[in-house]
């Protein structure tokens, strides 16, 4: 980018110190004086989110707004909230930390809090990567899950209740669970609930997901 382009960008007030969107372009400059022609510096642009990934900034997905209130009784598991993890956000060598919280109204029976993964934003065809039972007398529940991406076909997590479970404060167990998650495709993380008694209602009130990038 030559000096005239820079002057035009400044004149049009296109230079901003903050981002409005992760898709905003940032301009990077490189010393190309070795080319012996044209400007000493040339510039190129790339989306801010791509730049962050390139320098190892951990992508985060956080939402504290209430999801859809679930009143459907078990065995039906119903989505309350979901989030898209875009393809290639997670790669081999990364870890994914997940924490979610739900709230229950009523004490008729237990409610089941689950986290599912699917390539479509639906419970149908999804598989559980975590589950937790909220006691009938409890009105809040929080659980977390840490996924370690070991290979293209193995995403490892601690396993304490079948294919689900939670792993906060688990120090020693005899098994782990390997999920086959294709992170090169768009993946939806779905936070769902099921109430044993239709007199109870529950809702996902918060989630946060952090992708910790491998340090090369």
Listed in sequence order, the residues at least 6 apart from 85 whose beta carbon sits closer than 8 Å to its beta carbon are 61, 183, 186, 187, 188, 189, 209, 211
pLDDT digits (tens, 9 = 90+) for 52-78: 767 667 788 999 999 999 987 766 899
CB atoms within 10 A of CB 56: 11
CATH 2.60.120 residue ranges in the chain? 60-212
Q: What is the pLDDT of residue 163?
A: 44
Q: Which residues pair with 149 in a beta bridge?
A: 155
Listed in sequence order, the residues at least 6 apart from 213 whose beta carbon sits closer than 8 Å to its beta carbon are 53, 56, 57, 58, 91, 94
pLDDT digits (tens, 9 = 90+) for 100-153: 999 999 999 999 999 999 999 999 999 889 888 888 899 998 888 889 999 999
| Cross-sheet strand order for the sheet of 176-179 | 60-63, 201-212, 95-105, 140-149, 155-158, 176-179
Under a CB-based contact definition with an 8 Å cutoff, are residues 149 and 117 in contact? no
pLDDT at residue 205 tops 90: yes
Give which of 203, 160, 159, 199 is closest to 179, Cα–Cα: 159
CATH class of the region 60-212: mainly beta
Q: In terms of residues, how long is the chain?
A: 216
Two structure tokens written together for 119 = 């390539």
Q: What is the pLDDT of residue 140?
A: 92
Under a CB-based contact definition with an 8 Å cutoff, are residues 192 and 69 in contact? no
Q: What is the pLDDT of residue 189?
A: 97
Give which of 187, 62, 186 is closest to 129, Cα–Cα: 187
pLDDT digits (tens, 9 = 90+) for 146-197: 899 999 999 998 865 544 456 555 557 777 888 999 999 999 999 999 999 9
Distances (CA, A) of 186 to 17, 59, 80, 117: 31, 15, 19, 10
pTM: 0.77
pLDDT digits (tens, 9 = 90+) for 9-20: 667 776 777 766
Q: What is the pLDDT of residue 170?
A: 56
């Amino acid at each position: 980018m030559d000096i005239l382009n820079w002057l035009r960008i400044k004149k049009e007030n296109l230079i901003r110190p903050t981002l409005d969107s992760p898709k905003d372009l940032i301009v990077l400059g490189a010393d190309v004086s070795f080319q012996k022609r044209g400007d000493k510096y040339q510039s190129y642009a790339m989306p801010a989110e791509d730049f962050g990934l390139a320098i190892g900034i951990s992508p985060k997905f956080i939402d504290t707004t209430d999801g859809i209130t679930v009143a459907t009784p078990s065995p039906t598991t119903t989505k309350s909230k979901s989030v898209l993890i875009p393809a290639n956000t997670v790669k081999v060598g990364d870890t994914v930390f997940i924490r979610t919280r739900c709230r229950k109204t009523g004490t008729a029976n237990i409610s089941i809090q689950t986290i599912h993964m699917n390539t479509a934003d639906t419970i149908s065809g999804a598989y559980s990567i975590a589950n937790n039972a909220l006691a009938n007398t409890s009105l809040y529940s929080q659980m977390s899950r840490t996924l370690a991406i070991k290979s293209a076909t193995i995403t490892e997590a601690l396993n304490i209740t079948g294919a689900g479970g939670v792993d906060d404060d688990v120090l020693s167990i005899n098994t782990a669970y390997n999920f086959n998650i294709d992170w090169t495709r768009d993946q939806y993380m779905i936070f769902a609930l099921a109430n044993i008694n239709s007199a109870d209602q529950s809702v996902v009130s918060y989630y946060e997901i952090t992708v910790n990038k491998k340090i090369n």
